[in-house]
Structure 1
Amino acid sequence: MSVFTTLERDELAEFVARYPLGRLLDFAGIAAGSENTNYFVSLEQAECVLTLVERGPVQDLPFFVALLECLHQADLPVPYAIADQSGAALQQLKAKPALLQPRLSGKHIQQPNAQHCAEVGRFLARLHLATADGALERQSDRGFAWMAALGPSLLAELDADGQALLTAALAEVQALLADLPSLPRAVLHADLFRDNALFDGHHLSGVIDFYNACSGWMLYDVAITVNDWCSRADGTLDSALAQALLAAYAGLRPFTAQEAEYWPVVLRLTCVRFWLSRLVAVQEHQGREVLVKDPREFQGKLAARQQVSLKLPLAL
């Protein structure tokens, strides 16, 4: 169970007393998280999620609060930090940064169809359009430079095929770092996997877990999302699902010709990002009862992306 910080009922009751939402009724740890501690919290006047931030620099938390408020104001279905009776949104609990947020309705979809993928594509375009003005900025701590620096140290963890695949990918990372293109930028969710989206039927009712959000190429965010939502079990892309997601996205934010040129490379490098982060998580949490996703999933996806036939839809 991925609850890194255990809370007792009395300390949680004391914490929620600072909010104008009534007494604590019940709470339960959420097992699905892999980086932060999350609890469902039932109060007399609201159903909430409490997040204790376990990873990342504390100085970035005001960015996350401001981002979610921006998206909430843009009428996107996202959680946002509830302010306490003194007006403070960012809190501390057990020496950890803490945020109390409304609990969104809906459930996760494990086998998405084209309608689900189209909903996600539209959400992503709206997120990018809402933040394309550059008013909010955060550098990723797991970007291309991180991949280039970390990757060689993980080669010894892999078999011969994995080493060859990662070595080739790291060369592609280095080539991109040497000549970074100026692709359209915005704030990215950067982790919009199926377990971070909630649906009521075919309607997207919520997107959660923005703690990897950062500034970057919009195309990078699209590639992360396609690699999760539109992949088959063997790592290959389902073209019908991918085309539904890309077309819905492009209907709101058209792709550029330069994005189409870099699309295959970006699809591969987003696989590298999650392959490496999962290898690190396996090392860090070895022997602990913590949810760690299988690194081999993204090794397989990277292998399948060596040839990319899926193209971005471009306006004629």
Structure 2
Amino acid sequence: MLEIAQLTRRFGDNVAVDDVSFTVPPGALTGFVGGNGAGKTTTMRMIMGVLAVQSGEIRWDGRPVTELDRRSFGYMPEERGLYPKQPVFDQLVYLARLRGLPADQAKARTESLLERFDLGARGKDKLESLSLGNQQRVQIAAAVIAQPSALILDEPFSGLDPTAVDSMVELLREYTEQGVPVLFSSHQLDLVERLCDQLVVLAAGRVVGQGSVDELRTSGGTRYRLVLDGDAEWLREHPGVRVVDGAGPGVLFEVDSGGTDVVLKEALSRGSIREFAEVRPTVAEIYREVTA
């Protein structure tokens, strides 16, 4: 279990991370989402010890995290940190050796990961000769080269094609099945919705939403779509109803508890109902609401 407790970080007068608390459970994919400047990268850097914690605490297995703990974490930074003029295979072996793997295991692990990401034939090539997407694959391989106890990944899917995304997802799932906690940031909200066991939403340095996708969907209240043969604008004046979107014959609305029967009765009295359905918001819609 990785725990973030009341974490705060300032840069001069700017509060980049403001009393942030959340957990990354073992065996779970936790999506870390927020706009540019929300504080995601700063939080990840503090988790990894790249930036000092000014207030709050990071805990690993119920105790303050140590540098020894962090050595076992796999980290993919926002600014990629590999060597552009070194051969891909050599530098992955070098990074594995730095993490304590014996030479034979480091080479075997490197070969396995490069094959997995369809880069087996590019091991002797310099990193800078690869496409940006393939450089991203190498960076991912570097993050997992030493069988990490936790994974902290800043925008790991950026620049990957759909095939590489699927390979990355499969790899991450293998780690969560082993009980490894995984925290990753992403602006690809449709991907986050599909993958994540839980979400943490940041805005202006503060946590504005967290929980599973289903929990976040229900926290804002249930919504309904009503489409009539005639005009549905009268619903805007109906007691206990809040119209969220739409005009003319179709509207999206929220209603006080137990109020849908009254709405339907009124709608039937005005003509035929073409559609009435409960609507589950997407992660993108949830994100827009909690960060507004």
Quickly name the TM-score band, shorter chain normalised.
under 0.3
Greater relative contact order structure (CA < 8 Å, 6+ sep): 2
> Taking structure 1 as the reference length, what is the TM-score of the superposition?
0.23
Instruction: Report which of the two has the higher share of helix.
Output: 1
The structure with more radius of gyration: 2
Q: From the two aligned structures, give the one with the greater strand fraction.
A: 2
- TM-score under structure 2 length normalisation: 0.25
